[in-house]
């Protein structure tokens, strides 16, 4: 399922490192797909994607696409941000339990007054001029 793509002017404040292995992840994200790896031996997912299974250490993994929905597990507002993010402060980050069973840390967007942990969230692609990042848009 495709993630909504939201254009963001400018460059990413802290561009991620891209390796030969992670290039596939970033290319898929730019297309609106969130992918990760699943172990061929124990079938468990890993995020971020890894060339080996962090659960059983098996070296055979396959790429799978994740569904974009999830539930906010926790959140906080960053007021004293690192220098590269200072122009964006205050901003909200959180932990989202994806419907596919992974728990990820991400930026939270669209948080309204009365926001509560347990709210539904949808992952989105933030398409900066120099590449993508992902975030979660809180519903309702």
Give, for all 140 residues of the chain, the pLDDT tens digit: 799 999 999 999 988 999 999 999 999 999 999 999 999 999 999 999 999 999 999 999 999 999 999 999 999 999 999 999 999 999 999 999 999 999 999 999 998 777 889 999 999 999 999 999 999 999 86
Longest dimension (CA), the chain: 46
Report pLDDT for 73.
Answer: 97
Is residue 66 within 8 Å of 89, Cβ to Cβ? no
Residue 86 is encoded by which pair of tokens?
């200072």
Report pLDDT for 140.
Answer: 66
What strands, in cross-sheet order, belong to the sheet with 61-65?
45-46, 35-39, 61-65
How many Å apart are CA 60 and CA 79, to the nearest integer? 42
Closest to 90 measured CA to CA, from 75, 79, 80, 81: 79
- DSSP 8-class letter at 107: E
Q: Look up tokens 């609106």; give the residue.
A: 32
Report pLDDT for 1.
Answer: 78
How many Å apart are CA 116 and CA 94, to the nearest integer? 12
Residue 104 is encoded by which pair of tokens?
């990820």
The residue count of the chain comes to 140
Is residue 92 within 8 Å of 81, Cβ to Cβ? no
Q: pTM to 2 decimals? A: 0.92
């Amino acid at each position: 399922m495709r993630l909504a793509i939201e254009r963001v002017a400018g460059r990413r404040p802290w561009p991620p490192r891209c390796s030969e292995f992670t290039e596939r992840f970033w290319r898929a994200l730019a297309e609106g797909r969130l992918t990760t790896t699943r172990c061929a031996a124990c079938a468990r997912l890993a995020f971020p994607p890894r060339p080996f299974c962090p659960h059983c250490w098996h070296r055979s993994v396959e790429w799978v696409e994740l569904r974009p929905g999830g539930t906010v597990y926790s959140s906080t507002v960053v007021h004293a941000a690192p220098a590269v993010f200072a122009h964006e402060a205050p901003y909200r980050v959180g932990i989202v339990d994806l419907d596919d069973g992974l728990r990820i840390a991400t930026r939270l967007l669209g948080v309204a007054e009365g926001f509560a942990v347990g709210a539904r969230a949808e992952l989105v692609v933030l398409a900066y001029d120099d590449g993508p990042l992902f975030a979660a848009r809180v519903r309702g």
